[in-house]
């Protein structure tokens, strides 16, 4: 999984059915030392993450399966926020 | 998911059956600040995106599953446009 | 999907069963302006692409599923040529 | 699979159900010569790896399937530690 | 698929069950001109590749499916050597 920081969200009215009702957050990747990286991702939120919080991201089929209930078997999600990070312990 | 801007389309007559009938758009990636990046993708459109519009891309099996009806169970798609972005809120 | 140009092929006698009988082409990636990139891929051909032709590549499980008939359910393919590009319209 | 070195762990109270009970380790990638690389991953541990140990990482659906028992069929994991490396023999 | 050259192997006693009995080779990527690249992978061998040989690598679910018999349905493998390259024809 990757780590990032929530910096905003996107609004999309015309979108795939499986994205309806999901919070689509803009996340800036951070490295292992919580330094911001020059790369971003739009991630579907599953843990009510807020702006500025450090979060755990999962990608690919794992993100799709996180939304893998009957309704979203063919979810268009390929990245999801799956945790709010309390601390990086090193 | 990633963000990009539609800059064109490709024409391919000789192609895999599962791509027949799909609009194959050329998308230039943009970062979290909507700045264009030097990387591109061909994405199958699902929301009638037009040239110049900012779009949401999904990739890998999530893109394949977006076309996952009976006819396209083995779709060759690995990237799809799944939303038109109205705004980036930061 | 990504775009590339066919520049050659590889010969491999000792290979996984699922690759037997497939044409394994060397493809150099090109960007959205058809400029060659310093990265390459070996792709299983599905559309009889020739040397020098611009092609559409799919990767990951989508490539595996393109060869997803009964015989190749566990195909070792993770990249396939799935279209010959007639034109890039921008 | 990739190689890395365990440098810490993250604590996340608010997380996806499928991550509950898993040890989430911060791993710094190392190259084939065990030199540290400037990239990191959070990986779910399956072999009780300790801080400072060199480990083998698997990613994507392979990591999800490593946690693929009945309870975790839709695991949010996309990276797992699947081996402690005794030696790199070259 | 990608191309690489076998430069060694790793030994891992404490590892996921699905990796037991597999030869885990260290492979250095090479480009389309067989020039070595500064990136490496650990790949499970399926064709008895030896040190110094040029090989064909598959990654992700395609690698997992190569080991997809009943015993290894949840294989931890995400990269496999699936061919020994006799020649690069360009």
- Tell me the pLDDT tens digit for each residue of E5-26: 999 999 999 999 999 999 999 9
Name chain A contacts of D69, Cβ cutoff 8 Å: none
> Which residue in A82, A86, A90 has the most chain D C-beta atoms within 10 A of its own C-beta, making it the best mutation to test that interface?
A82
Which segment of C51-60, E42-51, E73-82 scores lowest on mean pLDDT?
Answer: E73-82
Give, for C63, the enclosing helix (H) or strand (E). helix C61-66
The residues facing C49 across adjacent strands are: none
pLDDT tops 90 at residue A45: yes
Residue A69: predicted pLDDT: 61
Name which residue leads in pLDDT, B65 or C37.
C37
Domain spans, chain B: 2-84
Residue E15 is given by DSSP the state B
pLDDT tops 80 at residue D72: no
Q: Cβ A63–D78 below 8 Å, yes or no?
A: yes
Q: Rounded to a whole number, what is the distance in Å from the CA of C53 to chain B's nearest CA?
A: 12
Residue D73: predicted pLDDT: 54
Those residues whose C-beta lies under 8 Å from the C-beta of residue D43, and which sit 6 or more positions away, are A1, D4, D24, D25, D27, D55, D57, D63, D79, D80, D81
Alpha-carbon distances of C47 from A75, B22, C3, C18, E53, rounded to whole Å? 29, 17, 14, 18, 30
Q: Rounded to a whole number, what is the distance in Å from the CA of A80 to chain D's nearest CA?
A: 9
How many CB atoms neighbour CB B42 within 10 A?
25
Interface of B with A (CB under 8 A): 1-3, 31-32, 46-48, 56, 58-63, 65-66, 68, 80, 82-90
Name chain E contacts of C37, Cβ cutoff 8 Å: none
Residue C69: predicted pLDDT: 61
pLDDT tops 80 at residue B68: no
pLDDT tops 60 at residue D39: yes
Mean pLDDT of A63-81: 80
Contact D11, A82 (CB under 8 A): no
CATH number for the region D2-84 comes to 2.40.50.220
Q: How far apart are CA E7 and CA A83, in angstroms?
A: 38
Residue D68: predicted pLDDT: 75
Percent of chain D whose predicted confidence (pLDDT) is above 70? 94
The ipTM of this complex is: 0.95
Residue C67: predicted pLDDT: 87
pLDDT tops 60 at residue B70: no
Q: Cβ C83–B14 below 8 Å, yes or no?
A: yes
Mean pLDDT of A20-49: 97
What distance separates the 2 farthest-apart alpha carbons in chain A? 43
DSSP states of B20-88: TT--EEEEEEE-TT--EEEEEEEEEESS---TT-EEEEEETHHHHHHT-SSTTTT----EEEEEE--EE
Contact E24, E3 (CB under 8 A): no
Q: Cβ A1–D75 below 8 Å, yes or no?
A: no
Those residues whose C-beta lies under 8 Å from the C-beta of residue B12, and which sit 6 or more positions away, are B19, B24, C56, C83, C84, C85, C86
> Three-state SS for D3?
strand
pLDDT tops 60 at residue C73: no
pLDDT bucket at A71, cuts 50 / 70 / 90? very low
């Amino acid at each position: 999984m990757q780590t990032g920081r929530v910096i905003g969200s996107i609004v999309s009215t015309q979108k795939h059915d499986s994205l309806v009702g999901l919070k689509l957050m803009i996340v800036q990747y951070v490295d292992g030392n919580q330094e911001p990286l020059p790369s971003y991702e739009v991630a579907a939120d599953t843990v009510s993450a807020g702006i500025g919080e450090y979060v755990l991201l999962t990608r690919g089929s794992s993100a799709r399966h996180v939304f893998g209930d009957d309704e979203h078997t063919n979810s268009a999600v390929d990245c999801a926020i799956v945790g709010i990070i309390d601390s990086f312990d090193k």
